[in-house]
Amino acid sequence: MPDNTPFVFMGGTFDPVHNGHLRTALEIQQWLDIPEVCLIPSKMPVHRDEPGCSSEQRLAMVQLAVADEPCLCADAREILSDQPSYSLLTLESLRAELGPRRPLCMVMGMDAYLGLPSWHRWESFLDICHIIVVTRPGYGFPDDSQMRRFSDRHAAPSVETLKQLPAGRVLLHELTPLGISATQIRRLIAQGDSPRYLMPDAVWDYIQTNKLYGF
Ligand code: ATP
Ligand code: MG
């Protein structure tokens, strides 16, 4: 029997990883009833300013954050790659590993989804994977937007579709709303305030030990 369990991942800068990411990944894992969801930190963000710490440190924090949760994992392929972080390259590398039939799902928050048209060759993504869009406080779905039309055109009728097809569908999923962002956390630390309970203690300990984000 071929393994047709969907491979589900969430990319991001994770600068640093926080409970909004972790809770999202865990809720998706439970909703899809799959063994695990992977977090894939990007190496050189192509769409943003220089991050506040090194790629290796962001990866280390993601690894610490998932260490005690068997349903979450960290994947270092983008950080270890000698190519820039492009989602398309990551999708192609995952597809090559999984083979043509296994469902592949990329999870992204609504903010990231709305910005998708600025990503390199984003219209090819659905040839390789499904996209699961998760709600994020502060980011609505504009009624007549390009991305609304894109998701209507490719909508998965149900979650089962994501398990039956290898790629090609978009599904919106509502989560427990957690209005946490890495931007807010970096700001808190830089101004001398504690970000405790917004992220795992192990990540906060790592930030203090390594004096990241102006701590
Ligand atoms: P920054 O403020 O630096 O942009 P961030 O908190 O948005 O950081 P990212 O690493 O940019 O974190 O996001 C990675 C992915 O996680 C994106 O798809 C983003 O939409 C999603 N995400 C981040 N925080 C949340 C949250 N609180 N709820 C739902 N999705 C989230
Ligand atoms: Mg972001």
Q: What is the domain-level CATH number for residue 54?
A: 3.40.50.620
Residue 137 forms part of a structural domain:
yes
Its domain, for residue 116, covers 7-210
Q: Which ligand is nearest to the CA of 184?
A: 1
Closest ligand 1 atom to Cα of 20: 27
What lies within 8 Å, CB to CB, of 84 at 6+ separation is 43, 44, 46
What is the average pLDDT across 154-182? Answer: 97
Distance 13 CA to ligand 2 centre (A): 7
Q: Is the pLDDT of residue 46 over 70?
A: no
Which of the four pLDDT bands, split at 50, 70 and 90, describes residue 48? Answer: low
- Total structural domains within the chain: 1
Distance 14 CA to ligand 2 centre (A): 8
What pLDDT score was predicted for residue 142? Answer: 81
Residue 215 forms part of a structural domain:
no
Closest ligand 1 atom to Cα of 180: 27
DSSP assignment string, 28-74: HHHHHT-S-EEEEE-SS-SSSPPPSS-HHHHHHHHHHHHTT-TTEEE
The model scores a pTM over 0.75? yes
* Site of tokens 């989804």: 113
- Cβ–ligand 1 distance for 13 under 6 Å, the answer yes
What pLDDT score was predicted for residue 135? Answer: 96
Distance CA 140, CA 106 (A): 19
Residue 114 forms part of a structural domain:
yes
What pLDDT score was predicted for residue 50? Answer: 57
- Cβ–ligand 1 distance for 116 under 6 Å, the answer no
Residue 79 forms part of a structural domain:
yes
Distance 181 CA to ligand 1 centre (A): 6
pLDDT tens string 121-147: 999 999 999 999 999 999 998 887 899
Residue 48 forms part of a structural domain:
yes
Q: Is the pLDDT of residue 44 over 70?
A: no
Residue 131: φ, ψ to 5°: -120, 125
Q: Is the peptide bond before 177 cis (omega within 30 degrees of 0)?
A: no
- Cβ–ligand 1 distance for 136 under 6 Å, the answer yes
What pLDDT score was predicted for residue 43? Answer: 85
- Cβ–ligand 1 distance for 51 under 6 Å, the answer no
Kindly report the protein residue whose alpha carbon is nearest to atom 6 of ligand 1.
Answer: 181
With contact defined as beta carbons under 8 Å apart, do 170 and 131 qualify? yes
pLDDT tens string 13-40: 999 999 999 999 999 999 999 999 999 9
The C-alpha angle with vertex 137 and arms to 136 and 138, in degrees rounded to 5, equals 110
Distance 44 CA to ligand 2 centre (A): 14
Kindly report the protein residue whose alpha carbon is nearest to atom 22 of ligand 1.
Answer: 109
What pLDDT score was predicted for residue 84? Answer: 83
Residue 2 forms part of a structural domain:
no
